């Protein structure tokens, strides 16, 4: 079978202190998987600002041996929401000793002047029905692409989203919201209403897959240079999470592999169990900001057109085998 052409829309922070490492690990998994042909990384504001995310992506492509991979700069802010309080939350916990990359180095920019929305629109139009966009950050770039050209929704083969939660509340940045939906709910709403073929892997599934300090030790012991470096980043991120969320026992020795599960689910659809759903994002209530409701036909749920396929179960062991083997945690 030929490789699936994918664009990864991402907010990567791997290597930057106090930034979630999971996008970077997801990118590594994708670039090391022959089932996927990664056409580009489009960068969006999220875990880090988009300029920093672009710099992270440029360094990652070198570390992972893909020096020609296009890195495309996208949205620097959510469509309407203020990013400053989110940024302040993470900055408050940062310590200087967790710097992995040298902060004095010049930041590397995008490899093209074209912005992410324009790139997405053009790439999808050039290969109608073929390209899968895997969106593992806030959905701002996708919404801007749809706003720029509604045909993007039908030209793109599929949008695979890391957002929301299908079977229970998401519960990471708030009690009901996952980070990606919370940062830009209006963008997610536009995507969900676009008519595109949508697949959603939510936080209810991605919170079941963890990377532990023991996994990091395996990565460090391998002969794979990327894996060794990523092990140090993993320890730094787990240390950070322990400080940021002292009441959450899962962060004492582990972090979540949210975004890698979404990549893995495209590599092998059988890693998740899927159901059709009507998925909607809350955009009015500040109290419920980030809430995503996936109506799957349970009793008394309001009927609505099915606009997405959602993950409702995960083969956790199967995912771990795939991830650890490709990331280099086994020699």
Q: Give the 3-state secondary structure of residue 106.
A: coil
Contact with ligand BDR (CB under 6 A) among 33, 42, 45, 47: 47
Residue 203 interacting entry, from Ca ion, ligand BDR, none, C-beta within 5 to 8 Å by type: ligand BDR
Q: Is 23 in the site for ligand BDR (CB under 6 A)?
A: yes
Which CB atom, from 23 or from 98, has the smaller least distance to ligand BDR?
Answer: 23
320, HSE (Cβ side, Cα atoms, 13 Å): 11
Residue 9 interacting entry, from Ca ion, ligand BDR, none, C-beta within 5 to 8 Å by type: none
Q: What does the per-residue mask of binding to ligand BDR show for 149-188, with x meaning CB under 6 A?
A: -------------x---------x-----xxx--------
Question: Minimum distance between the CB of residue 282 and Ca ion, rounded to whole angstroms?
Answer: 20
Which of 15, 119, 121, 140 has the alpha carbon at shortest distance from 76? 140
Question: Minimum distance between the CB of residue 29 and ligand BDR, rounded to whole angstroms?
Answer: 13
* Residue 142 to residue 152: CA distance in whole angstroms: 9
Which CB atom, from 114 or from 211, has the smaller least distance to ligand BDR?
Answer: 211
Strand partners, 314: 272
* Residue 291 to residue 180: CA distance in whole angstroms: 11
Contact with ligand BDR (CB under 6 A) among 98, 115, 259, 282: 259
* Residue 52 to residue 107: CA distance in whole angstroms: 7
Q: Is 55 in the site for ligand BDR (CB under 6 A)?
A: no
**What is the end-to-end Cα distance of the chain in Å, rounded?**
27
Active site annotation includes 258: yes
**Cβ atoms 218, 210 nearer than 8 A:** no
Q: Is 22 in the site for ligand BDR (CB under 6 A)?
A: yes
Radius of gyration of the chain (CA): 18
Q: What does the per-residue mask of binding to ligand BDR show for 90-119, with x meaning CB under 6 A?
A: ------------------------------
Q: Is 289 in the site for ligand BDR (CB under 6 A)?
A: no
Q: What does the per-residue mask of binding to Ca ion show for 99-138, with x meaning CB under 5 A?
A: -------------------------------------xx-
Alpha helices in 71-167 (DSSP H): 84-91, 116-126, 140-148, 152-155
Q: Which of 16, 258, 289, 326 is an active site residue?
A: 258
Q: Is 9 in the site for ligand BDR (CB under 6 A)?
A: no
Give the dihedral of Cα atoms 246, 261, 175, 92; nearest 10 deg: 40
Q: Which residues contact 264 (CB under 8 A, 6 or more apart)?
A: 29, 271, 319, 322, 323
Q: What does the per-residue mask of binding to Ca ion show for 254-293, with x meaning CB under 5 A?
A: -----x----------------------------------
Residue nearest to ligand BDR (CB): 179
| C-alpha dist (Å) from residue 23 to 118, 257, 284, 291, 300 | 22, 9, 29, 22, 37
Number of residues forming the site for Ca ion (CB under 5 A): 5
* Residue 127 to residue 146: CA distance in whole angstroms: 16
Q: Is 9 in the site for Ca ion (CB under 5 A)?
A: no
Q: How far from chain centre, in Å, is Cα 160?
A: 10
Q: Is 23 in the site for Ca ion (CB under 5 A)?
A: yes
Which CB atom, from 114 or from 259, has the smaller least distance to Ca ion?
Answer: 259
Where on the chain is the footprint of ligand BDR (CB under 6 A)?
20, 22-23, 47, 136-137, 162, 172, 178-180, 203, 258-259
Which residues are known to be catalytic? 258
């Amino acid at each position: 079978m030929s490789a699936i052409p994918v664009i990864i829309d991402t907010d990567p922070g791997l290597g930057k202190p106090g930034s979630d490492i999971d996008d970077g690990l997801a990118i590594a998994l994708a670039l090391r998987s022959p089932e996927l042909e990664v056409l580009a990384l489009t960068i969006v504001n999220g875990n880090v600002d988009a300029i920093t995310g672009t710099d992270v992506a440029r360094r990652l492509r070198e570390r992972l041996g893909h020096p020609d991979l296009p890195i495309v700069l996208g949205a620097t802010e959510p469509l309407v929401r203020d990013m400053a309080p989110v940024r302040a939350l993470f900055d408050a916990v940062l310590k200087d000793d967790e710097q992995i990359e040298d902060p004095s180095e010049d930041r590397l920019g995008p490899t093209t002047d074209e912005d992410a929305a324009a790139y997405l629109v053009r790439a999808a139009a050039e290969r109608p029905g073929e390209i899968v966009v895997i969106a593992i950050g806030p959905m701002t770039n996708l919404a801007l692409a749809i706003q720029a050209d509604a045909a993007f929704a039908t030209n793109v083969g599929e949008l695979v989203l890391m957002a929301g939660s299908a079977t229970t509340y998401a519960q990471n940045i708030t009690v009901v919201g996952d980070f990606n939906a919370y940062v830009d709910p209006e963008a997610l709403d536009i995507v969900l209403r676009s008519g595109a073929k949508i697949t959603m892997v939510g936080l209810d599934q991605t919170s079941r897959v963890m990377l532990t300090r023991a996994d990091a030790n395996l990565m460090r012991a391998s002969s794979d240079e990327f894996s060794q470096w990523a092990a140090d980043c993993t320890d730094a991120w787990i240390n950070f999470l322990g400080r940021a969320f002292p009441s959450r026992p899962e962060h004492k020795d582990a972090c979540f592999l949210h975004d890698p599960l979404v990549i893995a689910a495209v590599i092998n659809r059988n890693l998740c169990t899927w159901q059709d759903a009507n998925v909607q994002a809350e955009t009015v209530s500040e109290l419920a900001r980030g809430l995503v409701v996936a109506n799957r036909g349970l009793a008394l749920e309001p009927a609505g057109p099915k606009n997405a396929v959602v993950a409702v179960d995960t083969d956790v062991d199967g995912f771990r085998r795939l991830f650890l083997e490709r990331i280099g945690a086994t020699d």
